[in-house]
A and B are shown apart, each in its own frame.
Chain A
Amino acid sequence: MMGHLARSWPWNLPVSPEKWRDVTTVQSVTRWTVRGAADCPRARGAGRAGWSSQVKIRPRPEQWTARIWCRNRSTLGCAAEDVEVHRMLTRNAIGQHGSRSTTLLAVIGGVALMFSACGTSSSRAATRTTSSTASSTNDSERNDTTTSRAAVRRHHAAARTTTTTSAGHATTTTIAEHRLATHKVAAPATSGGAPASAGGAPQPSAPVPPVPPTSSGGHGPGGALAAGVYCNGWIHRQTPNSSMRVHDTTGGRLPSAADCANARAFYDRVLAANAKYADLNVAIANHFKPGHDAPMRRRRTTCIGATRDSWTRIIRRGSCTRSTRSPTRPPGSG
């Protein structure tokens, strides 16, 4: 493991140690992009396809920060692994040592707060920040290329701390709690793992605004409408599947008569506007393509399908379909 990392990084990056020194002086260079997955530990092996890495170097008056992101575009949109902090270098470390071998001393599995380029909302940034923390934990544990014993001890301590805190990360719904955990853990993990430099660990690019908590059990912020019969028997609402996160800005408020009327009107308009697609041929002629509802983790098919519901059955028959476009929206539906 150690040897593999040592071979694969940083030597195969376009940013050579010599280049790194240039970075510290060339103010105009702010970013490199590399293609390939060699420096993405999680991208090795069978799951390598679709991965790419990116190096971002951000100049600061007091320090230089380089971050390597590994991305996987094979999943729909921006998956959790879309932002994965792997390495962090600081100018101080480079400036102090400046040689190839000692550059490795600066290669500490850093836990950093960062923002994804995919996504605009603050909540997405926050959640990805959480994800990056958990991901970088693994990298920290694997990144044993440090040759300094003291640095190794600091590094392992940081890894243990992060691992403990991110143990509950399997549940991806308690965003606020994870975000707080990230703040609490990221700083000590980074500062503890970073070489003893005056610059210390880089700080987040921008503060992450508070994100309302999303509890497990399929309820969004403030909850969702409880199971029951509404609108004079028209809607038989079930308890949401726990694997899904519901976004209800009303917080699960009981529907009023106006809500029922509006929902009925909306439904009628959707039905009228999309009735033509009852004929699949019409849909195909209008750019309807096979798709999926939710990402399927076990099996990759043309229809990367849902999990834990009947869609899985449908999908595994090879019959799932989804339009890559939103359906025709009824007038005034927003």
Chain B
Amino acid sequence: MYKIDPVTHKATWLGVMFVERGGLLPQPGGSLTVWHDHGIGQQDMFHVWTFAGAADPFALMLPDAIGR
């Protein structure tokens, strides 16, 4: 996942996202590493935020990772 500056078009790497559809959803860090989806029928997602200073490297969404 990247954030791209609309002016400079520079891409900043924010993290990665794992995607699963059904099946086993591994949680290597227990409750710290949880999956989520955005509604019925949607795929399951798991984020790992890699940018420096992330408040929660396994936050469900970017605002949580930033520390809203």
A residues with a Cβ closer than 8 A to B are 76-80, 82, 118-121, 124, 127-128, 130-131, 172, 175, 218, 220, 224-225, 230-231, 234-238, 240-241, 243-256, 259-260, 262-267, 270-271, 274-275, 277-280, 283, 293-295, 306-307, 309-311, 314, 317-319, 321-323, 326-329, 333-334
Contacting pair A230 B32 (CB below 8 A): yes
Grouping DSSP codes into helix (H, G, I), strand (E, B) and loop, the B interface class, with mixed when no group exceeds half, is: loop
A273 to B31, CA, bound (A): 23
- Set A80, A271, A306: member contacting B50, Cβ < 8 A: A271
Residue contacts A-B, CB under 8 angstroms, 9 given: A120-B23, A128-B41, A262-B30, A270-B48, A310-B62, A310-B63, A314-B3, A314-B4, A318-B6
A270 to B18, CA, bound (A): 11
Chain B, interface size category, equals 35 or more
Contacting pair B39 A238 (CB below 8 A): no
Contacting pair A256 B38 (CB below 8 A): no
The chain B residue with its CB closest to the CB of A264 is B29
A124 to B57, CA, bound (A): 28
Contacting pair B29 A246 (CB below 8 A): no
Contacts of B58 in A (CB 8 A): 235, 263, 267
A274 to B2, CA, bound (A): 13
How many Å from the CB of A116 to the closest CB on chain B? 8
Contacts of B6 in A (CB 8 A): 317-319
Using known A-B contacts A241-B61, A244-B36, A267-B57, determine if residue A255 contacts B29 with beta carbons closer than 8 Å. Answer: yes
Contacting pair A79 B60 (CB below 8 A): no
Contacts of B64 in A (CB 8 A): 237-238, 240-241
Contacts of B31 in A (CB 8 A): 224-225, 248, 250-255, 259
- Set B23, B34, B41, B62: member contacting A225, Cβ < 8 A: B34
